[in-house]
A and B are shown apart, each in its own frame.
Chain A
Amino acid sequence: MTFLDASIFWASSFVAIAATLIVIISRNPFYAVLYLILSLFGVSMIFYTLGAPFLAALEVIVYAGAIMVLFLFVVQMLSPAGSPATMPDIQRPSLIQLIFPALLSTILVIVVVLALLRSGSMVGTEATNVVSARELGIALFTHHYLGVELASLILLIGIVGGMHLGRAAGIQDETEVKVALR
Chain B
Amino acid sequence: MISWLNVLPEAILSVSAVVLLIVSTLAQSGPMRDLLRWISIFAIAAASAALIYTSGKFGLSVDGWTLATPFTTSVSLVLLSLVAWAVLTSPIPDTSAGEWFALLLFAALGSVVLARVGNLAALFLGIEVLSLTLYIMVGFKYTSRLSLRGGVMYLVLAGVGSAFLAYGMALVYAVYGTLSIAELRASTEGVTMPLIALFGYGMFLVGVGFKLAAVPFHMWAPDVYEAAPSSAAGLIASASKGAAIAALLPFSFLLNSHFLIIAALCAGSMIVGNLLGLRETRVKRILAYSSIAHVGYLLLGFLTIKTELPASLPATMTAEGAIVFYIFVYGISALGAFTALGAMRSQTVVSLNDLHGLGRTRPIPAACLLLFVISLAGLPLSIGFWGKLYLFSTAFKAGFLKLAIIGLIGSAIGLFYYVRIIVHLYMVSPEMNPRSETEQTSSFQNAVLIASAAAVVIFSIFPDMLYFLIRGIY
Contacts and interface: CB of A to CB of B under 8 A. Distances in A.
Consider the complex of A and B and state whether they touch directly, i.e. have CB atoms less than 8 Å apart. yes
Interface of A: 111-112, 114-116, 118-119, 122-123, 142-147, 149-151, 153-154, 156-158, 160-161, 163-165, 167-168, 174, 177-182
Given A122-B174, A167-B95, A181-B229, A150 B199 contact: no
Contacts of A167: 95-96
Contacts, number: 119
Contacts of B121: 144, 147
Contact of B136 (A114, A161, A177): A161
A114 B195 CA distance: 9
A144 B63 contact: yes
Nearest to B343: A182
B233 to A, nearest CB: 11
B346 A182 contact: yes
B62 A177 contact: no
Interface stretch (B140-148, B252-260, B269-277): B140-148
Interface in B89-103: 91, 93-96, 99-100, 102-103
Nearest to B107: A157
Contacts of A179: 93-96, 140-143
Contacts of A149: 7, 10, 14
Given A165-B136, A165-B142, A179-B143, A150 B129 contact: yes
Nearest to A122: B175
Contact of A143 (B63, B102, B194): B63
A157 B198 CA distance: 34
Nearest first, the 5 closest Cβ-Cβ pairs linking A and B are A115-B195, A161-B136, A115-B196, A150-B125, A143-B63
B133 interface: yes
Given A144-B65, A182-B230, A153 B91 contact: no
10 contacts: A122-B174, A143-B62, A150-B126, A150-B129, A153-B14, A153-B17, A164-B140, A165-B139, A174-B143, A177-B143
A147 B121 CA distance: 7
Interface string B99-136: 11011001001000100000001100110110011011
A100 to B, nearest CB: 14
A177 B133 CA distance: 23
A180 B195 CA distance: 52
A160 B101 CA distance: 11
B141 A181 contact: yes
A181 B7 contact: no
A157 B93 CA distance: 18
Contacts of B17: 153, 156
Given A150-B122, A153-B129, A178-B94, 14 more contacts: A118-B194, A122-B196, A144-B65, A146-B122, A153-B109, A156-B17, A157-B106, A160-B136, A161-B132, A164-B96, A164-B142, A165-B139, A180-B94, A182-B346
A122 B177 CA distance: 10
Nearest to B133: A157
Interface of B: 7, 10, 14, 17-18, 21, 62-63, 65-66, 91, 93-96, 99-100, 102-103, 106, 109, 113, 121-122, 125-126, 128-129, 132-133, 135-136, 139-143, 171, 174-175, 177, 194-196, 198-199, 229-231, 342-343, 346, 439
A181 B173 CA distance: 43
A146 B196 contact: no
A55 to B, nearest CB: 13
B65 A147 contact: yes
A165 B148 CA distance: 10
Nearest to B346: A182
B99 A160 contact: yes
Contacts of A161: 132, 135-136
B327 to A, nearest CB: 22
Contacts of B63: 142-144
Contacts of A112: 171, 196, 199
A150 B132 contact: no
Nearest to A160: B99
Contacts of A114: 195
Contacts of B175: 119, 122
Given A112-B196, A115-B199, A122-B174, A151 B125 contact: yes
A147 B120 CA distance: 11
B133 A146 contact: no
Nearest to B439: A182
Contacts of B66: 146
Nearest to A118: B195
B426 to A, nearest CB: 22
A160 B103 contact: yes
Nearest to A175: B143
A119 B95 contact: no
A168 B91 contact: no
Contacts of A144: 63, 65, 121
Residue among A112, A149, A157 with the highest chain B CB neighbour number at 10 A: A157
A2 B174 CA distance: 23
Nearest to A159: B21
A168 B142 contact: yes
Contacts of B125: 147, 150-151, 154
A164 B65 CA distance: 31
A106 B96 CA distance: 46
B194 A122 contact: yes
A119 B172 CA distance: 13
A153 B132 CA distance: 10
A163 B99 contact: yes
B147 to A, nearest CB: 9
Contacts of B65: 144, 146-147
